[in-house]
Amino acid sequence: MGNSQSQSEFILLGVADRPRLEMLLSAVVLICYVMTLLGNTIIIVVSRLDPRLHTPMYFFLSNLSFLDLCYTTSLGPHMLVNFWRKQKTINYVACAVQLYVSLSLGSTECLLLASMAYDRYAAVCQPLHYTAIMSHSVCFKMAAVSWAIGFSHSLVQTAMTLRLPVCGHNRIDHFFCEVPALLRLACVDISVNEAVLSASSVVILLLPLALIIVSYGYITVAVLRIRSAEGRRKAFNTCASHLTVVSLFYGSAIFSYLQPPSNYSRDQGKMMSLFYTVVAPMLNPLIYTLRNKEVHQAVKRVMGRERTL
């Protein structure tokens, strides 16, 4: 970190002191990673190839799937390698890249989920003006801003974290390089870093979450005004998947980032990070496709088209 010239590598402790748990987690991470690759790739390909899915909802969903692919890939393969080798090390440059990329993608997902909530608000509450509100250019700009803010936020956090001196400490009590885990290595006062981390977490986590809650407040009012039970059910189904994904991702991320790193228990932070970096990206495509007839029909159309070629 601050003395990176002498700190050439870090040791990722993970759960190396519990070999059975380590073997179990390696199997879980491998299964989740393979399913994440498969599920998110299917969503991207189908959304791209089927013209009926060229809508704002599936534009944002494709962005989310691509982000989840990159997010899990930035962490999963190295975790799997470390689970199976005795020397669980990561060099300084790789740690810095892992920290920056994973934090960038995680921050972007927070903002992208808020954009998706606004899309659902426009679809349910402003159906007559939906096409104008969520035009292609507006969708592209919302996605671009989400990615730009996410990567800019990560740049600040990564720079502040890596400049801290570690005074010879190189054992990271985590599965990968993450801000809270790296802050615990610092041998100087980290109150400023903790304050900045909390403030930026409010901006990246809580403000988008507040926008999501407000959007769904309006959506709930609009749905309750629908007289037919079938209409209410259809409106609810368009939002249920997104709400589930928001709950899983934001719940675990808020737990990890909105408490001082010094207050973490030894295992809670590690397991919660493992959940939102490995498990949640696997669940997202399942949540969006299990009850989604449009995606089921699109997969059948794409597969039927491939067979006829």
- What per-residue confidence (pLDDT) applies to 50? 83
**Residue type for position 52:** R
- Sheet with strand 89-91: strands edge to edge: 89-91, 9-12, 171-172
59 has pLDDT over 90: yes
Range of the domain at 47: 9-308
pLDDT confidence tier of residue 266, bands split at 50, 70 and 90: low
Share of the chain above pLDDT 90, in %: 37
Which of 130-134, 190-194, 276-280, 286-290 is most confident? 130-134
What pLDDT sits at residue 110? 92
Global pTM value: 0.86
Average pLDDT over residues 133-140: 94
Quote the pLDDT of residue 142: 96
* pLDDT of amino acid 4: 43
What mean pLDDT do residues 96-103 have? 93
Q: Tell me, yes or no, whether 24 lies in a domain.
A: yes
Task: Let me know if residue 90 belongs to a domain.
Answer: yes
Torsion (CA) 95, 98, 100, 102 in degrees, nearest 10: -150
Res. 261: pLDDT tops 70: no
How many percent of the chain have pLDDT more than 70?
A: 91
**Which pLDDT score, from 0 to 100, does residue 154 have?**
93
pLDDT band at 276 (very low <50, low <70, confident <90, very high): confident
Confidence band, pLDDT 50/70/90 cuts, at residue 307? low
**Residue 4 lies inside a defined structural domain of this protein:** no
The answer to whether residue 1 sits within a structural domain is no
Angle between helix 136-162 and 191-201 (nearest 10):
170
68: domain CATH number is 1.20.1070.10
Residue pair 40/117 in contact (Cβ under 8 Å)? The answer is no
Residue 278 inside a domain? The answer is: yes
pLDDT at 285 over 50: yes
63-72, 148-157, 228-237, 258-267 — which is least confidently predicted?
258-267
Distance, CA of 161 to CA of 29 (rounded, Å): 27
Instruction: Note the pLDDT of residue 241.
Output: 84
> What pLDDT was estimated at residue 5?
39
pLDDT of residue 227: 79
Assign 1 a pLDDT band (cuts: 50, 70, 90): low
pLDDT of residue 196: 87
Kindly report the backbone phi and psi dihedral angles of residue 173, in degrees, each rounded to the nearest multiple of 5, phi listed first.
Answer: -85, 70
Average pLDDT over residues 212-230: 87
Work out the widest C-alpha separation in the chain, in whole angstroms: 69
Say what the pLDDT of residue 3 is: 47
Average pLDDT of the chain to the nearest whole number: 85
Q: Cβ distance 190 to 164 under 8 Å? A: yes
Cα–Cα distance for residue pair 11/21, rounded to 1 Å: 18
Return the pLDDT at 212.
94
The domain tally of the chain equals 1
> pLDDT (tens digit, 9 = 90+) per residue, 33-55?
999 999 999 899 988 888 888 89
User: Which of the two residues, 257 and 183, has the higher pLDDT score?
Assistant: 183
Contact yes or no for 164/119 (Cβ under 8 A): no
Structure tokens at 132: 């104008």
